[in-house]
Structure 1
Amino acid sequence: MSNDDINARRREQVELNMLTVAAVAGWYIDTYLDKKSCRDSALSGAAYVNELLIGHLERFRQVCRMERPIFMKLCNVIRSKNLLCDTRDITLEEQLIMFLFTIGHNAVNRQVQERFQHSGETISRHFNGVLQAILSLSTQYIRDPSINVPIEIANDTRFYPFFKDCIGAIDGTHIPVFVESHKQAPYRNRHGLLSQNIMAACTFDLKFIHIQAGWEGSASDAIVLRAAEKDGFKVPRGKYYLVDAGYGNTPNYIAPYRGVRYHLREFARGSIGPQDAKELFNLRHSSLRNAIERVFGVIKNRFPILKNTSSHSFDTVTDEDINEPDDDYNTDERRREGNRMREAIANAMCDEYSIHTRRLRDRHGH
């Protein structure tokens, strides 16, 4: 090959490199610098947010899924802790409202772009900024429960004194997720849908105590609970949580009797009351543990992003590190001790119920 041919090829390569650089530069300018080229609504994001902040309280609640006074308190907390601040173009209030709009309506990035008149990159950046700020507050607002007898138990003769050492309820719920195709298999739950299995513990006044996120939809509730314990979730000495039969019955987690009527609708059907100690225990266990089902229902209704597959990647949905827990959770001795506790509660409950029923019959002359 002659020197002229070599030089010609070098010139062609230089020209190709320049074209490549120009193309990348054009993409960068279009994506990150010229970000408002198609956002030309007269109602800017700032104007829309201002309308919400001074407008009707019900409109604010419908858009943000939060009461306005609570929203303002949240803004003050975030500012006071320097978790977020106003930027040149977007106030903290607008950042937070964009975040609430997204999770409250399961809105995709393009919908938020149109509503708030910002670029996709800006929306994404501020969404993640608010998400990290909210996560950093979780340790301050999600706290261990009191070891005192919960009011909901102390003031109800169905539960006291039988459940006096119970401090909350635990259950798992499945949240639809978007996962790359080559990673999907473990996330398919028993219904064939892609999800993550989230464990939550709550008090009986519907306050979250602990949330364990990130486990694949195929993971059992018991495995997620064991992972939560490994990550620091602890049950105070002498106390326990109510769980469903999928967790197993141990001194720290009291489950209902298997193969015995449990759900409230099963007792309501035909109006046949509990027939023995096990059925009575299950009925009252179900009535009390219903708190966790109620709190799941409330939060999913308020934030529909938890009910439908989100456009956000799984890495955004959870930042938990997933580690397989040790397999020493439900030893035979723990199960036997849990069974003894449950039987003692059920028998005491049944004795009291029999006395109460007998008194009612005597009072009415039956």
Structure 2
Amino acid sequence: MYAAYAAILVLVYHRSNYLERSISNEGDYEQHALMEKLTLMDNEDCYNQLRMGKDAFARLVNILWGTGRLRNSAHSNVEEQVAKFLHIIGHNLRNRTMKFYFKHSSETVSRHFHQVLRAIISLDDVFLKQFDGLKCPQEIKDNTKFWPYFKDCIGAIDGSHFRVKVSNDVVQRYRGRKYYPTQNILTTCSFDLKFTYVLPGWEGSASDSRIPDNALTRNFDKLIVPQGDYW
């Protein structure tokens, strides 16, 4: 009797493991097929799905992987993690939708999203280079309409509102001119349309003058304006 009972347990254990492995293998196959479809499609389709072209996507993956900011996991490589992240923010998708397409649990999708988000945020010092004022922007110097009248102008500065979700106890602070809560974000860019500074986080109700004042006097992540130059 004990031998029969043990045999049944072994059979159940074997079938359970086989079923789990089959499901896992099937999920891995579908993930691989989906990633092949995403990376092998033409540039326009890639842009429509990931909101960036194939070359830009490949460079972003190489930067995040090559600098050690993201690593492959047992069932998800860096390429797939970044694709999930871009798909979510590009189309405002929910975890349950990504769970269905990428065959991962909601917890895994959420974890990968936040890993990629933190990795991209850590690139701010790499891509957001503030102007040092050592030379006049070429876009000004080569244009007779602007030179020499704007030789000390180093770029453009502006703010914009982005819709956000916040807890009910602070929602009124984030509701300004819009009927929904927003973040008031200050940005600067150079004349070649590259962002050089971003200050997020201010409530939508904050005045436009208060935000640049804070940007210029912060103890960290301060907006730098070289002596004699202006935005």
Instruction: With the length of structure 2 as denominator, give the TM-score of the two structures.
Output: 0.82
In the other structure, the counterpart of 2:162 is 175
Q: Quick one: which of 189, 201, 224 aligns to 2:176?
A: 189
Amino acid corresponding to residue 165 of structure 1 in structure 2 = D
In the other structure, the counterpart of 1:108 is 94
- Residue 78 of structure 1 pairs with residue 69 of structure 2: no
Give distance in 2, aligned partners of 1:107 and 1:134.
19
In the other structure, the counterpart of 1:124 is 110
Give distance in 1, aligned partners of 2:132 and 2:32.
43
Amino acid corresponding to residue 226 of structure 2 in structure 1 = P
RMSD over aligned CA atoms reads 2.0
Give distance in 2, aligned partners of 1:53 and 1:131.
21
In the other structure, the counterpart of 1:152 is 139
**Greater share of helix residues, 1 or 2?**
1
CA offsets 1:241-297 (integer angstroms, 9 cap, x no match) = 0xxxxxxxxxxxxxxxxxxxxxxxxxxxxxxxxxxxxxxxxxxxxxxxxxxxxxxxx
Instruction: Kindly indicate whether the alpha-carbon contact (under 8 Å) linking 2:184 and 2:204 is maintained by their aligned counterparts in 1.
Output: yes
Higher relative contact order (CA 8 A, sep 6+): 1
1:52 Cα deviation from its structure 2 partner = 1.5
**Structure index of larger Rg:** 1
Work out the percentage of aligned pairs sharing the same amino acid: 39
Give distance in 2, aligned partners of 1:227 and 1:114.
44
Instruction: Kindly indicate whether the alpha-carbon contact (under 8 Å) linking 2:28 and 2:75 is maintained by their aligned counterparts in 1.
Output: no
In the other structure, the counterpart of 1:164 is 151
1:42 Cα deviation from its structure 2 partner = 9.6
1:117 Cα deviation from its structure 2 partner = 1.9
**Within 5 A, what are the aligned runs for 1:1-366?**
44-145=30-131, 147=133, 148-229=135-216, 230=218, 231=220, 232-241=222-231
Amino acid corresponding to residue 63 of structure 2 in structure 1 = V
Amino acid corresponding to residue 219 of structure 1 in structure 2 = A
Instruction: Kindly indicate whether the alpha-carbon contact (under 8 Å) linking 1:199 and 1:211 is maintained by their aligned counterparts in 2.
Output: yes
In the other structure, the counterpart of 2:6 is none
1:54 Cα deviation from its structure 2 partner = 2.3
Instruction: Kindly indicate whether the alpha-carbon contact (under 8 Å) linking 1:146 and 1:167 is maintained by their aligned counterparts in 2.
Output: no
Structure 2: gaps spanning 5 or more residues: 1-19
* DSSP-derived class of the 1:83 partner: coil
Give distance in 1, aligned partners of 2:27 and 2:62.
30
